Structure 1
Amino acid sequence: MKIAILGAGALGCAIGAALTEAGNDVWLLNRSAAHIQAMARNGLRVDDGGGSRHVQVRTATRAAEAGAVDLVVVLVKSFHTDAAMRGALELIGPETLVLSLQNGLGHEDVLADIVGHERVLAGKTYVGCVMRNPGHIESGVAGKATYIGELDGRITARVAAIAKTFNAAGLITEVSDNIVGTMWDKLLVNVATGALTGTTGLTYGQLYDEPLLKATALAAIAEAIAVAQAAGVTLSASDPERPWTLAGEGLSPAFKTSMLQSLEKGSVTEIDFINGAVVRWGLRHSVPTPVNATLVACIKGIERAMIDRKKQEITA
C-alpha cells in the first residue's frame, strides 16, 4: 500500500517506520527541513524496547514529491489541519482515503470540507512516542492499540484492508463499528490530564500525587461524559475514574503530556480540539461545562502570555 504520513513528527515517524519495515511504500511528510534532511541522510533512528536501529524511509517536505497515494494518515497538530491538507492535495488520487489519527474532536469535519466526506475515515491510537532529535525518535508501538472506522459505523472492505496492513506491520489495529464513541473514549483520556499539566507544569507523577488536581480532573471528565451521553454517543465506560486511570497507565512518572510539551516549546496547543470540543458540544446539547471552560480559558491565557513575550523579544 502506498501511504503518506501527513505530519510525520514522533508519532507519525513511529507508525511510518513500522509500515515501511513491513514493505509498504511510505512517505513521511514534515515541514521541518532539519528533520527531513536528517532522515534522508542517515535514515530514521528508532529507539524502542528492542534497542536502536536506523530505518531507511522516504521523506519529503512537499506533497508533490510523493504524488497520489492510497492512504493519507493525518497527524499534524489540530490547528494546522486545514492548511496542511489544502497544501497536500497532490496526495489525493481517484481512490485515495484520508484517515485522521489526531487527538481531539473535529478534524474529520475539516478534512471532509477539503477532500469530500466520502474519503474521510476516523481513528484513534494509543501509540506513544517522543522526538529525541531531528531524525531520531523513541517509539512506543509495542502493545498499543489503534482503532479505525467509518464515521457512520459501517464495517467496510476499505477499512478492513487498512487494518490488515497496519496489523501486518505490528500496529495492533481494530476496526470499530462505533468510531465516534472510540474517539470520545480517547478524548476523555486527554481531558483528564492535558490542560491540568499545561496550566501547572507538572509531570504525570506529580499530577497523580495531588488529590486536589485529581478532583478537578474527575470533574472535567464527568462533564465530558454528560455531554457525550446527551449527544447519544456510546462510551465504553461512564465512570470518570476509568479515563483518569487510563491516562497515566504504563507511563513513567517523569513523562509529560503533549500539551505541556507544546507549551514548553513555545507552541500553541490543541486545547480547542480537546477541552474546547467538550465546551462546544456542551453548548450544542445544553449541557453546562464550567470546569472545561475554565481550563480552556487558563490555557488560552498562558498561550497569550507566551505570544506577547515573543513579540516583546522581537521588538527589544
Structure 2
Amino acid sequence: MRRDGLRVDDAGGTRHVRVHATTQAADVGVADLVVVLVKSFQTDAAIRGAQSLVGPDTAVLSLQNGLGHEDILIDVVGRERVLAGKTYVGGVLRGAGHIESGVIGKYTYIGELDGRITPRVQAIADAFNTAGLATTISDNIVGTMWDKLLVNVATGALTGLTGLTYGQLYDEPLLKATSLAAVAEAIAAAQAAGVTLSMTDPEQAWTLAAEGLPATFKTSMLQSLEKGSITEIDFINGSVVRCGQRYGVPTPVNATLVACIKGLERAMADRQRQEAAA
C-alpha cells in the first residue's frame, strides 16, 4: 500500500487512495486518535503493540463488532482515554491493498462511556463527517453497542455456518426464523441488564443488517472462516449467552450457534495442523 496506495471499490466506482501504511507504531509517533478495528480476539495484543501511539491526550476508540473491547483497552491505556463506538459500515478484503467498501447509507456512532458530550468526541465526529463517514454522537453508547450487536447476531453466525452470501441468506425463510429467534434472545438479555435499546423488534435488526449492501456481501464471520481464521463468535453471540447467564435469561439459540461455530473452528484447526504436518 505504501507503493500503490489503497484500491477502494464502492457504489461510486473504483479509486486509488494514497495512504501512509506501516506495521510499526513507532514509525508514526503519538496520535490524537487511535481507532481499534482489529478482530476482537486480537484487541489486547494490538493495543499493547500500539502504545507508542498513545500520549497524555490521545483518545482510543473501538469500532469493533461485539462487546467487551472497552474493558480490554481500559486495562492497557486507562479509562480516561477510551471512547466507545459502533459502525454499520461493511467491507470486504478483495486482495492485498484492495477493499470493497459499503459506506453509502451506513452510519457510525461514537460516545463517551459515561454519556457526556465532550469536546473530544465532538471533534472526532466532525472529522469523520468531513471525511464522508456519517457519524453521530450517542449519549447512550452502551445501548448503541447492543443495537449493533443485534445486527451481528442476526446474520454473522448463520452465514458462517452455511457459507451463504446476504442474497442467499435473505432468500431462506428457515434461516430468517432462526435469526429472529437469536435476536429475540439478545433483546431479552439486554433488557434484563437494564440496557436501553433503539430496536425492540427482531425484524428491525434483520432488515438493518442488509441495508445498503449488495446481494454478494459476505459477513466478517464468513470471511474469517473462508480465510482459515478463528471468528469473533465469543464477542458476539457469546456475549449474549454470558449476559443471559448473568441475568437468568435463556439463550438456547445463541448457545447452539456458538457451539456450532466452535465446532467449525476446531475442524479447521485440525485440518490446518494435518496439512502442516504432511
TM-score of the superposed pair, with normalisation by structure 2: 0.97
CA contact (8 A) 1:44 1:136 kept: yes
Q: State the Cα distance separating 1:263 from its structure 2 match.
A: 0.5
Q: CA offsets per residue over residues 169-195 of structure 1, 9 Å max, x none?
A: 111111000111111111000000110
Deviation at 1:282, TM superposition (A): 1.1
The corresponding residue for 1:124 is: 86
Alpha-carbon contact 2:26-2:52 (below 8 Å) kept: yes
Matches within 5 A, 1:251-270: 251-270=213-232
Structure 1 residues 31-72: Cα deviation after superposition (integer angstroms, max 9, x where no partner): xxxxxxxx1111122222333222211111111011110000
Measured in 1, the distance between the counterparts of 2:216 and 2:102 equals: 16
Residue of structure 1 in register with 2:246 after alignment:
284
Counting aligned pairs with the same residue, the percent is: 78
Q: Any idea what SS the aligned residue of 2:215 has?
A: coil
Instruction: Within 5 Å, give how 1:140-159 maps onto structure 2.
Output: 140-159=102-121
SS of the residue corresponding to residue 57 of structure 2 reads: strand
Deviation at 1:247, TM superposition (A): 1.2
Runs of 4 or more, structure 1, over 4 Å off, are none
Count of residues in correspondence between the two structures: 278
Change (3 A) 1:143 1:245: closer
Q: Distance in 2 between matches of 1:199 and 1:50?
A: 32
Deviation of 1:254 (Å): 2.2
8 A contact 1:142–1:170 mirrored in 2: no
Q: Distance in 1 between matches of 2:130 and 2:164?
A: 37
* C-alpha contact (below 8 Å) 2:92/2:218 kept by paired residues: no
Among candidates 201, 209, 229, match of residue 239 of structure 1: 201
1:300 aligned residue (243, 262, 277)? 262
Shift of 1:141: 2.2
Q: Pick the aligned partner of 2:10 from 28, 48, 51.
A: 48
Give the letter for the 1:75 counterpart. L
State the alpha-carbon separation in 2 of the partners of residues 70 and 185 from structure 1.
28
Amino acid at match of 1:199: L
Corresponding residue to 1:138 among 100, 112, 123: 100
| Letter aligned with residue 34 of structure 2 | V
Q: Mark the CA change 1:277 to 1:298 in structure 2 (over 3 Å): closer, same or farther.
A: same
Residue type matched to 1:147 in 2?
Y
- Partner Cα distance (1:141, 1:239) in 2: 25
Root-mean-square deviation (Å): 1.1
Q: Find the counterpart in structure 1 of residue 141 from structure 2.
A: 179
* Structure 2: gaps (5+ residues): none
Match runs of 1:1-316 below 5 Å? 39-316=1-278
